[in-house]
Amino acid sequence: MIAERRIPLIAAPMAGGASTPELAAAVSAEGGLGFLAAGYLSADALTAQIAGMRALTSEPFGVNLFVPGERRDLDLADYRARVEASAARHGAEAGSPSWDDDNYPAKVEVVIAERIPVVSFTFGLPDRSIVDRLHEAGSEVVATVTTPQEARAAADVEADLLCVQGMEAGGHRAVFNDDPTLPGGGQLFGLLAAIRLIQAEVDLPIIAAGGLVHGADVAAVLAAGAVSAQLGTAFLVCDEAGTQPMQRAEIAAGQRETALTRAFSGRPARGLVNRFLADNGDAPAAYPQLNNLTKPMRGAAGKAGDAELMSLWAGQTYARTRPLPAAELVRRLTEEARLALQQASARL
């Protein structure tokens, strides 16, 4: 289904509020594929978003699920004290550093019952039995991978497509097993290198993700063999996105560097460098405990407009984003990609 879309563009699922039914519907209606992000939602909230999406468009769309990892029982007392001190700046308290499964089993049942056209998974792989049930419901299954090893594992559970995430991508890295000794949780590959290495080992269609903000970027990954390009940061500043005003302002300013960090969630993610990120480079690999611990702080900082305590997720090329309505952005990206491919062809 993805390979048959009129426009080979996907609006990446961005959990935490940035992805909205309005954004996803606008991209799907324009011929691309919009995604809803189920991460952090309850099953009922996901069902409501699906209903909202279907009220806006009859075009296909996708839903992304977080696969829960193994529980890590770490002593987080020291980190909790740091978070409490930062949260107190805005009259907030630290959250509970508890582990949870993100309501994963219930949300799996939702996407199966709702017969979602495309279901993607991040942070790991679904059991083969879940893949089989999704196939029976008519869903295409996408596994998000960062290495050839993860790609081989995805092929083993019979995923239909691979979303290959390069290290340039904003937000959380999709690594299956977060190695606490490595900044990115695993080996880091740029997007084009990852595509080439994975294609050499796994014969599955590829969606390319990471640092794509211009039509020429889309053309590059299509030329490299991808069937579609997935863009997240580029859609963060669209009118329909639920991005917080302070994050929009920081992206528009384009002055901050990006870095990989575990500071906000305990899982490697790329965001704009601010005070909390810089001061907590030693954050433990404890997701989702740290995510729950810092949630009240991040929420209070967002309301107060304090960019130094927010998780400002963004890819390496964030400064080249354009604040446009989603449909207009899709059209512009498409035109730029066609021109780039024509120019490349003329050189050969």
Q: What integer pLDDT is reported at residue 259 of this predicted model?
A: 98
Indicate if the pLDDT at residue 70 is higher than 90: no
Q: What integer pLDDT is reported at residue 1 of this predicted model?
A: 87
Strand partners, 274: none
Residue 156 burial class via C-beta count within 10 angstroms: exposed 0-12, middle 13-18, buried 19 and up:
exposed
- Measure Cα distances from 329 to 9, 217, 220 in Å: 11, 14, 18
Q: What is the mean pLDDT of residues 32-53?
A: 98
Report d(CA 343, CA 200) in Å as an integer: 27
Q: Percent of the chain scored above 70 by pLDDT?
A: 100
Report d(CA 54, CA 61) in Å as an integer: 9
Strand partners, 260: 270
Q: What integer pLDDT is reported at residue 313 of this predicted model?
A: 98
Q: What integer pLDDT is reported at residue 310 of this predicted model?
A: 98
Q: Give tens-digit pLDDT for 155-182.
A: 999 999 999 999 999 999 999 999 999 9
Q: Residue length, the chain?
A: 348
What distance lies between CA 202 and its chain's CA centroid? 22
Q: Give tens-digit pLDDT for 102-114.
A: 999 999 999 999 9
Strand partners, 96: none
Per-residue pLDDT band for 73 (boundaries 50, 70, 90) equals confident
Indicate if the pLDDT at residue 276 is higher than 90: yes
Q: What integer pLDDT is reported at residue 219 of this predicted model?
A: 98
Q: What is the mean pLDDT of residues 276-290?
A: 97
**Pair 57, 31: CB distance under 8 Å:** no
**Pair 179, 198: CB distance under 8 Å:** no
pTM over 0.75: yes
